[in-house]
Structure 1
Amino acid sequence: MSQALVSHKVSLTTLSPVFIGAGEEHVLSPYSDFIQQGDSLVYIDTDKLQEAMQGDKALVDAYVKGMRQFENNRSTFSLEDFITNTLQKEVQDFAARIVTVDGDIQKNQIRQFIATGGKPYIPGSSLKGAIRTAVLLEWLLKTNEGKKQLGEIKMHVEKRDWKSLKRINPERQCFGGIANDVFRHLRVSDTETIEEAKLLVNGVKRVSLKSGRQGFSKRRSDIPQWSETLRPSSTTSFSLSMGTPRGKTAFSFLNEKSLISLFSIINKASLDSCLRELDELEGNREFRDFFGFYENLEHEIESLESNEAILRLGGGKTWFDNSIGLLLDSDDFGSDILFGGYLKLLRIGDLPFPSTRSAIVRNNIPVSPLGWVKLAVLD
């Protein structure tokens, strides 16, 4: 039986654009859902659009015919022309809301941010998943059982024993199975909803690179994924509660119900991630804006109060932010050769790794990473 929960209200402020997708089915089409006018996107109320055509077969036929017109495998249909010329209405007559866009979206779709009642929020599962990864790294590094797991991973890599390596599951050893997962005693709510005005549609690309020590690649995907992101400095809050099962766990922050101790664990993982990015991007002129962001982030992490933490969540994280990779690519595990062997054995990739970054792009230049937020205890 768990003891009584200790709950805290925690503020969240975005430090970089944040993207958490609503799902593959939640995409907006330029042929039915929005019209770009300068640096604004007019989201169309499709019910009103259907009402304007209802009962008029000629209008419906004109809309359907327009949607089927293609030239060089590209639709030539313009929703704005259809509204102003065919319906002889104003675009604003069908406006559901206005969202700012950074760039020329042309005929691309938009991935929507997860929302409830039309208002964006950050799911508790996204927050808890990012916290869980930081705690796993700490467990591997600081506990006897974790060190044993790390030693077994190292041994199997050295022996090139792929089958044994694949069977190792540090996360299960750390937290337990589904039925007895100790992390169920950490509860994280969804955040409060955020003002729609905090959404900004950005182009997001995976941009290829090599480390600054080895030059860099200019290869990049041609078409960005346009996405609704939360602007930097967007604020909200959520509830974080801790209880402990009878008997001690391997996690002192749970045993003591100490949010300060948990934040210290989170900050160590975030600082390690930040320093790794600085090392990888140093001297890379194309990613100079990234480098500047991480220089500022390093300073901010090192200047945090004990009741503050910096965390990365949502889309755009690297493999290192979602795995035990930060620990494996460190002196605590072994050499670069050993880490490279791990990547090859599990068919993850080759060094230098990873070879891409998800980036907010402007004029085809990467200008910002995604997903960094600052937490602070409010009570």
Structure 2
Amino acid sequence: MKLIMNAETPLHIGNGEILSPYSDYIYENGRVYYIDHNKLQSYIYSKENAEELMDRFINIVNIQTEKNTVDKYKLKDFLAENGINIEDYSSRITGASDELKNEEIHRAISTSNRPYVPGSSIKGAFRTALLYRHLLDKGCTATTDKKTYVGEDEFGSIDKDVLKFLHISDTLPLPYDNIEVVKTCRINISTGKATIPVIKEAIPGGTVLEFHLACTAKAKYHSLADRFEYLYEGGEKEVLVEVNNFYTEQLNREIDELCQKKHEKLDALINLYTGLYNKALQLKDTGEGAVLRLGSGKTFYDNSIASLFTPSQMMEIRSAAGYGNYSPFPSTRVVVLRNGIIQSVLGWVTVTVKE
């Protein structure tokens, strides 16, 4: 089954790489210029005073990495002084949601420098939703002291996992420039106080991607328990329904939690979540897709089966797992800033059947 994924908010799935503000990029007038080191080095070595220029380049980088430096001479000053047009020596130029102030940029996953969403990330979100459905059907009330629980007792051990019959592809890669740089921070939903910003590459909200979903078990050859019938060929829409049901509940929970705080900084988030909740309800009526959350920025509830448990059970689980006993839990949310104002969150997408 072909599916369309629409990024409702910026989407970041990291690859572990980090760009330094001192040697890897330059921020200027709302744009981020990624330094093409090979081109820049080739230019420097073509000059008669190449050795001197390279020494100065390295010295600038070293000075700027010292936290207590008062020397404001930066890489862009070095380029301008030597008549180097930064656009000519950039591998990528992209917009930023907010002003950057010498922060590192956490890079997004890509293939051949083209951003995409891995099928493993999508399947992880699907797995959580399906596990929730099965445990809810069983009336699960058990607690666990394991910080990581992926339902191996429900779906089977790695070699016998029934979700091997649920195939989810990577999305098709996007054009290399279909990326933006967003400023994020954690905001305390009770006080409105924010933490130090974290800068991330993200697939922009509004981006459309494509991927495939297939339930591959064959009734003639495989004998699955009745509760896993959706894994037989043709069960894809039932999977989408269950995924949508799970995230509809998470959206409803989040709206209630944020509305209770009555903090004006949260108004944009409440409006965003209300819109997503309405989309989820529409998809619930049609059975043609799902709203879900991927990548960085998820809350504890988005990424777990915690909504199965009562408040007292959750306190027991948190105590056993070392998550503390503070309230509300979680107390912070990752938000996206645009021009200093909370605009969005990360990771929400809708998936719909491609006609």
Q: What is the TM-score of this pair, normalised by structure 2?
A: 0.90
Residues 34 and 41 of structure 1 are in contact (CA less than 8 Å); yes or no, is this contact kept in structure 2? yes
Partner of 2:211: 238
SS at match of 2:34: strand
Aligned partners of 2:67, 2:232: CA distance in 1, in Å? Answer: 64
The offset of 1:28, in angstroms, is 1.4
1:273 paired to 2:266: no
Task: Identify which of 22, 31, 46 aligns with 2:37.
Answer: 46
The offset of 1:337, in angstroms, is 2.8
Partner of 1:196: 176
User: What is the root-mean-square deviation of aligned Cα atoms in Å?
Assistant: 2.1
Partner of 1:261: 238
Partner of 2:111: 116
Aligned partners of 2:338, 2:271: CA distance in 1, in Å? Answer: 16
1:13-66 Cα deviation digits (max 9, x unpaired): 11111111111xx21122222222212112221101111222721111111222
1:315-344 Cα deviation digits (max 9, x unpaired): 00011111111222xxxxx3x233223222
Partner of 1:129: 124
Alignment of 1:30-41 (within 5 A): 30-41=21-32
Partner of 2:3: 10
Residues 192 and 263 of structure 2 are in contact (CA less than 8 Å); yes or no, is this contact kept in structure 1? no
Bigger shift: residues 48-57 or 295-304: 48-57
Partner of 1:82: 78
Aligned partners of 1:248, 1:225: CA distance in 2, in Å? Answer: 45
Q: What is the TM-score of this pair, normalised by structure 1?
A: 0.85
Count of aligned pairs between the two proteins: 341
The offset of 1:11, in angstroms, is 1.0
Alignment of 1:219-238 (within 5 A): 219-222=193-196, 224-238=197-211
Residues 251 and 277 of structure 2 are in contact (CA less than 8 Å); yes or no, is this contact kept in structure 1? yes
Give the aligned residue type for 1:375: V
Partner of 2:291: 310
The offset of 1:362, in angstroms, is 3.1
1:215-258 Cα deviation digits (max 9, x unpaired): x2133212x11111111110110111211261123323114631
Partner of 2:344: 368
Give the aligned residue type for 2:80: T
The offset of 1:165, in angstroms, is 4.7
Residues 166 and 346 of structure 1 are in contact (CA less than 8 Å); yes or no, is this contact kept in structure 2? yes
Aligned partners of 1:72, 1:111: CA distance in 2, in Å? Answer: 19
The offset of 1:108, in angstroms, is 1.1
Structure 2 unaligned runs (5+)?
Answer: none
Residues 97 and 339 of structure 2 are in contact (CA less than 8 Å); yes or no, is this contact kept in structure 1? no
The percentage of counterpart residues that share the same residue type is 30
SS at match of 1:323: coil
Aligned partners of 1:277, 1:357: CA distance in 2, in Å? Answer: 10
Aligned partners of 2:147, 2:110: CA distance in 1, in Å? Answer: 38
Bigger shift: residues 88-97 or 103-112: 88-97
Give the aligned residue type for 2:174: I
Give the aligned residue type for 2:24: D
Partner of 1:301: 280
